[in-house]
Chains A and B, each alone.
Chain A
Amino acid sequence: MKTLILNGSPRADHGNTQLFIDHFQSGLTRPLSVRYILRENPEKLALEMHDYDTILLVMPLYIHAMPGIVMKLFEKLKPHPTNHKIKIGFIVQAGFIESSTARFLEQYLSSLANRLNYTYLGTVIKGDAAACSILPHFFFGKLFKQLKALGAYYEKNGSFNPLLVTKLGYPVDLSKFQVRLLESPLVKRLNQIGWNWILKRNGCFENRFDQPYL
């Protein structure tokens, strides 16, 4: 089973997508090859994808869907010229907490696989991941363990472990209680501390509400 991992982040190998790939790979006995969509010619890559049995595309959520560079690759994809049935699976990580934020992307990815006559392995969605590469690793210890287990299961079975997919996708939507908590003045303030700290460190806190394009 020849698998190719594609990294679909515009930050290529120094973003959160790369961390997801690294932890997925840590569950494998033999690492898989990784290519970076940012650095590829989409037409050439689309053709070379036909040499694999399975494609795993790992990407950040960008404006409720795939980053522009990934859509540019999708535009070049064609069904395999022979009967060879390629399998394709996706891992999407996002900033917002609830995984339902990626629901239209998930629907599109499934429909794309169908369009291309590929076998769809599903889409793993993990929200609340924007700070993965900023905060110390122990904040995300549980996530990294789950990704390692996802990798180990994939190597053994050639598919995503449905239990892990459910766990990573939690919460699908915010509960009323979560909304009330997140909207409470204290939690709102706490949530802003991180952003404001970065803005202050960069000397632009006073400009945070600028409207430069008016």
Chain B
Amino acid sequence: MSEAYGVVLFFTTSSAIRGEKVAKRQGLRVKLIPTPRQLSSDCGMALRFAWRDADDVRRCLEEAGVENDGLHRI
């Protein structure tokens, strides 16, 4: 079975890039991708992560105060 992924949605590109930076600094494996069609998109970019890292991703965004529109499993 292939690995489960999630994406973080953001309101602005600036926040998306900030989110990527913060997560990478924590050593999390993330990647900015075009927002998947099935998710109502706020901004054209979403941050993909392995779903098993969801708690770490959530925590590090929260600690850095990066505004976002939630984590979504894809």
Do A and B interact?
no
Q: List residues of chain B with CB under 8 Å of any chain A CB.
A: none
